[in-house]
Amino acid sequence: MLDAMTSRPRPEPFRYEERVPPGERRQFRAEVGENYLGDTVEIPVTVVNGVGEGPTIFFTAAIHGDELNGVKVVQEIATRYDPEALRGTLVCLHVCNVPAYEAQQRYTPIYDQDLNRAFPGKGRSTTTERMASKIYHRFIRPCDLGIDFHTSTRNRTTIYHVRADLENEDANRLARSFGANVMLTGSGDAGSLRSVATSADIPTITVEMGRAHRFQPVLIEKALDSVESVFAEYDVLPGRPVHWPGWYKITTPESAKRWLRADIGGLVDMEWGPYPLVRADEVICRITDHFSTKEDVVRAPFDGLIVGALENPVAAPGHPVCHLVRLDETTVEEIEREIDRGEFDGYRRYGHRWAAE
């Protein structure tokens, strides 16, 4: 709608069952189902509707109930922006899978279902599909773009990276403006929020950051900076700079990426670090049996970046110990320069713990 006086587009209210007019922040709980007691299950939602015209952006966390870094990021986004200063609308779904969050586990406790394979959901199907349907139709459909926050699954950790369909022009713009150094391209798994929303013309990226069951402040701050970079790109916060990354690596699920696995059972000693950059043939970890009679040495098959690693230090044969992405010499050199300048410290491994704390 155009404003008669200025002929600029006028912002619209955000509508779900109710409406949030421009200039308002509203915090409420939205019913998405019932538990065994017949009590309603509600997700906490914040809508911040800016006074200026701009995109409607959703932020989702805890679609997997034990992935907490994003919950903190969304809490911050929900409170730190004044609707008077914003162009556009922020739709913050603080905890999407409430039953899984209450149990502090990845999947919905009822039949162990994955909410991130259930979108767009069905109103007359399983508990998880019904929950997905309510979330999707009320809050995701009215948006123009979205960011879904995840972490690695338990016992592992992952480097800060974005997953997006970079072949899709709009998703590509969103992913690049987020400014992560590592981007994994692909259309995403069937039923995931990212793939379903992106195919419905709501370009969506997934952010993977660190470990489950933790708040990792360095990663949380990094994500908040990335969100501001997206706001700059889409003019949600006018006059701010977009943070383009100094180097970036795009990889696909199939190519140039390898899970290195244990060949014996035993104790895992990680040797790489403190930075997740390894040269070909460098020792990544050693696996020994309890009598120290057997040893399996896992070496880097090529120059690469460790993007995922085992955290629980015991392994059985076939266990993934490390996820490695191949790097070309130019990227290796750029990362080495960042290490020298102290700009790569967000990716350091401290002692036996990996990823920034």
Residue 64 interacting with Zn ion (CB under 5 A): yes
Residue closer to Zn ion (CB basis): 150 or 156: 150
Asked whether position 211 contacts Zn ion by CB under 5 A, the answer is no
Residue nearest to Zn ion (CB): 150
Please choose, out of 58-66, 75-83, 291-299, 329-337, the segment that lies near Zn ion by the rule CB under 5 A.
Answer: 58-66
Compute the least distance from the CB of residue 150 to Zn ion, in Å.
3
In this structure, what DSSP letter does residue 330 have? H
Q: Radius of gyration (Cα) for the chain, nearest Å?
A: 21
Binding mask 132-171 for Zn ion (x = CB under 5 A): ------------------x---------------------
Which part of the chain contacts Zn ion (CB under 5 A), choosing from 4-12, 60-68, 107-115, 119-127? 60-68
What amino acid occupies position 129? E
State the Cα–Cα distance between residues 13 and 24, nearest whole angstrom: 9
Q: Which is nearer to Zn ion, 150 or 323 (CB)?
A: 150
Q: What secondary structure does DSSP assign to 4-68, as a single string?
A: TTT-SBPP--EESSSEE-TTEEEEEEEEEEE-TTSPEEEEEEEEEE-SEEEEEEEEE--SSTT--
User: By CB under 5 A, which span of 9-17, 65-73, 194-202, 335-343 interacts with Zn ion?
Assistant: 65-73
Sorted by sequence, the CB contacts under 8 Å of residue 112 that are 6+ apart come out as none
Q: According to CB under 5 A, which residues from 265 to 284 bind Zn ion?
A: none
Number of residues counted as binding Zn ion (CB under 5 A) = 3
- Considering the complex, state which of residue 134 and residue 150 has its C-beta at the smaller distance from Zn ion: 150
DSSP notation for 118-175: STT--TTS-HHHHHHHHHIIIIITT-SEEEEEE-PPTTEEE-SEEEE-TTSHHHHHHH
Three-state secondary-structure class, residue 108: strand
Binding segment (CB under 5 A) for Zn ion, from list 66-74, 126-134, 300-308, 312-320: 66-74
Pick the closer one to Zn ion by CB: 67 or 165.
67
- Please answer whether residues 173 and 46 qualify as being in contact, where contact means their C-beta atoms are separated by less than 8 angstroms: no
Which spans of this chain sit near Zn ion (rule: CB under 5 A)? 64, 67, 150
